[in-house]
């Protein structure tokens, strides 16, 4: 029941923030617990907000009518007693030790009433005529008082006589006092013993608190078995006054994205991306320091949000990177600040993580953009064909391999004036010399015919086929539009159980096939297409190149079995196996000319 008393105190404290007169009836906030051995009762008194007659009927009365009797029957039947204190049934706990509960209460807006019930499904509410004025409080037989013994002399009668007769000088008076026999009796007095003597850690000075005390408080606050990574103890004075202790855990909590806990996360004070930090900040002027039904978002809490956000962001770690990326997606006001804390692997960082700020300091002379690549994992992207030209030119590329990176980079767009450019999309511009530009134009003209043949074979599978300036070793790759989904984003959206399929129609941009004119496979394919654009082997090879490009570019295959059949077909050609000996030829994969089969197989081996 202690939580109920604490909540009552919180409510009257909250009301007093806007109306100081609320505390006039009882300025002191306390909870007293008084045991009485003689009457075998336990009395709990709190100076909280109190209850009106309507509150007694609607709250305690409802519990007595519909819950108490059933609860006691359930306990008698061996039900789990751990439910006490949950879902507002903390009041039930009184009936575990008492047959009868009496509640005397006084609210500022009502008379003093007495509520009484014996857990039999009925209750009574009467006006209190005892004459004892509680001021503003709730008292019910359910603060610990202390009994002390005091020794006094048993010569009170003689002292009274001396007072009547007046003072008489006697040279032996001191001697007589020493020789006088004293009788000692016990006198019982009552003193309040303060139970919560420990001053709250956030109210103490930081230099007086040891590391062990911070650690113990952190573990009691979070139930974490590990020590905290960092702690920030600070106070704000001025228009706003509050004290706070901010802990940053070593790792994000397991229930970080548990929607059931959202109401407890003080979202008005900390954005969702910073909920991995543990904040304890009860403030005299902070409505969010009180129960959740009182914590309405206000101008005050909004003004508190920014300084606290900054405190947390200066102490974040790699374990909380995912939530920070969520912040970029959700918190446009702080996304630039949050971006400074992001860390990624890159083509030049090795096993270490690098920041965007450090990336900018390492940018090549003349480099105007920040390059990045998204994918399923670091291993999946570090040898991507999209990086070949960038690596050759010495440009650093960030590996964004967390699913939420796709959302974050879509909101960030730039950092310190440098545009974030995807290596897998159109719009990638790599600085070239005049000789390189001239050579590229010649290759485009030379491979123009092959590009048309490939487009005819693939049809609507691709929007266009062009000569690439981003691949160096691979024969080809598939890029997406600058403003559409990347291959990785398309993979993520396909994995959504409740995805909107209609969105995929206009967000999945058409693919552009970029071919590498300096690759031996593409050069041989060009020769065959120039010799006979209707060559049946060209179609088979184009389809195989397209499907392998889908995989190496991060896409998934719509028909893996057909792709497997094409691979098997190429293996037969390489092994000079007669196609007539194999049954079930695929109509979409026309057989190559028999007379040229062996020759084509050897050519494939050469170009491979």
Q: Are 301 and 286 in contact (CB under 8 A)?
A: yes
Pairing of strands 369-374, 278-280: unpaired
105: helix, coil or strand? strand
Is residue 56 within 8 A of residue 125, CB to CB? The reply is yes
CB 578 within 8 A of CB 552: no
* Residues tagged in the binding site annotation for ATP: 46, 51, 59, 66-67, 86-91
Binding residues: 46, 51, 59, 66-67, 86-91
Structure tokens that stand for 56 in this block: 């007694």
Count the helices and strands in the chain (H runs, E runs): 22, 22
**412 neighbors 427 (Cβ within 8 angstroms):** no
In Å, what is the CA distance from 277 to each residue of 296, 463, 528? 21, 47, 63
Residue 385 C-alpha from the chain's centroid: 35
Judged by DSSP in three states, 86 sits in coil
| Alpha-helical regions (H) of 485-555 | 487-494, 501-507, 520-531, 536-552
Q: Which residues pair with 189 in a beta bridge?
A: 148
Three-state SS sequence of 553-567 = CCCCCCCHHHHHHHH
Q: DSSP of 357-422, one letter per residue? A: HHHHHTPPTT--EEEEEE-S-HHHHTT-GGGHHHHHHT--EEEE-SHHHHHHHHHH-EETTEEEEE
Assigned token pair, 230: 């960092």
For residues 443 and 517, is the Cβ–Cβ distance under 8 A? yes
Alpha-carbon distances of 37 from 40, 43, 101, rounded to whole Å: 5, 11, 17
Spatial separation of the C-alpha atoms in residues 307 and 239, rounded to whole Å: 14
- Distance of alpha carbon 552 from alpha carbon 381, whole angstroms: 9
Closest to 384 measured CA to CA, from 376, 490, 542: 376
Contacts of 212 (CB under 8 A, 6+ apart): none
Spatial distance between the Cα atoms of 248 and 231, rounded to a whole number of angstroms = 6
């Amino acid at each position: 029941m202690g939580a109920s008393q604490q909540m009552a105190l919180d409510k009257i404290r909250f009301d007093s923030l806007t109306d100081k007169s609320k505390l006039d009836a009882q300025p002191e906030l306390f909870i007293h617990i008084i045991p009485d051995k003689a009457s075998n009762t336990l009395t709990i008194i709190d100076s909280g907000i109190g209850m009106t007659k309507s509150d007694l009927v609607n709250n305690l009365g409802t519990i007595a009518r519909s819950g108490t009797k059933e609860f006691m029957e359930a306990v008698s039947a061996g039900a789990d007693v751990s439910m006490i204190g949950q879902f507002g049934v903390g009041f039930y706990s009184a009936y575990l030790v008492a047959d009868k509960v009496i509640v005397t209460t006084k609210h500022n807006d009502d008379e003093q009433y007495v509520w009484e019930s014996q857990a039999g499904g009925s209750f009574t509410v009467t006006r209190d005529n005892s004459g004892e004025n509680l001021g503003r409080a709730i008292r019910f037989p359910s603060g610990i008082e202390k009994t002390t013994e005091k020794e006094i002399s048993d010569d009170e009668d003689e002292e009274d006589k001396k007072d009547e007769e007046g003072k008489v000088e006697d040279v032996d008076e001191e001697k007589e006092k020493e020789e006088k026999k004293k009788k000692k009796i016990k006198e019982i007095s009552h003193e309040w013993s303060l139970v919560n003597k420990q001053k709250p850690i956030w109210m103490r000075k930081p230099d007086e608190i040891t590391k062990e005390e911070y650690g113990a408080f952190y573990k009691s606050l979070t139930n974490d078995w590990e020590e905290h990574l960092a702690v920030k103890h600070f106070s704000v004075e001025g228009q706003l006054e509050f004290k706070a202790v901010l802990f940053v855990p070593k790792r994000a909590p397991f229930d970080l994205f548990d929607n059931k806990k959202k109401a407890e996360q003080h979202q008005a004070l900390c954005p969702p991306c910073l909920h991995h930090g543990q904040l304890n900040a009860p403030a005299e002027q902070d409505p969010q320091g009180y129960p959740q039904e009182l914590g309405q978002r206000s101008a005050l809490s909004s003004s508190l949000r920014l300084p606290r956000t900054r405190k947390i962001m200066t102490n974040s770690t790699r374990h909380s990177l995912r939530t920070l990326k969520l912040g970029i997606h959700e918190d446009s006001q702080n996304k630039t600040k949050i971006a400074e804390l992001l860390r990624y692997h890159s083509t030049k960082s090795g096993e270490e993580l690098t920041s965007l700020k450090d990336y900018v300091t390492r940018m090549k002379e003349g480099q105007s953009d920040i390059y990045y690549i998204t994918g399923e994992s670091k291993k999946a992207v570090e040898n991507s064909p999209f990086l070949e030209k960038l690596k050759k030119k010495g440009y650093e590329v960030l590996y964004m391999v967390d699913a939420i990176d796709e959302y974050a980079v879509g909101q960030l767009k730039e950092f310190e004036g440098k545009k974030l450019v995807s290596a897998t999309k159109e719009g990638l511009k790599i600085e070239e010399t005049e000789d390189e530009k001239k050579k590229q134009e010649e290759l485009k003209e030379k491979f123009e015919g092959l590009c048309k043949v490939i487009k005819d074979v693939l049809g609507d599978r691709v929007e266009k086929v062009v000569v690439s300036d981003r691949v160096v070793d691979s024969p080809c790759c598939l890029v997406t539009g600058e403003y559409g989904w990347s291959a990785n984003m398309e993979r993520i959206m396909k994995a959504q159980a409740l995805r909107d399929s209609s969105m995929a129609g206009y967000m999945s941009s058409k693919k552009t096939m970029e071919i590498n004119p300096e690759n031996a496979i593409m050069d041989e394919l060009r020769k065959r297409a120039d010799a006979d654009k209707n060559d049946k082997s060209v179609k088979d090879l184009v389809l195989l190149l397209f499907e392998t490009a889908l995989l190496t570019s991060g896409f998934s295959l719509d028909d893996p079995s057909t792709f497997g059949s094409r691979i098997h077909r190429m293996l037969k050609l390489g092994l000079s196996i007669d196609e007539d000996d194999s049954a079930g030829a695929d109509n979409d994969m026309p057989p190559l000319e028999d007379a040229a089969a062996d020759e084509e197989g050897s050519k494939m081996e050469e170009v491979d």
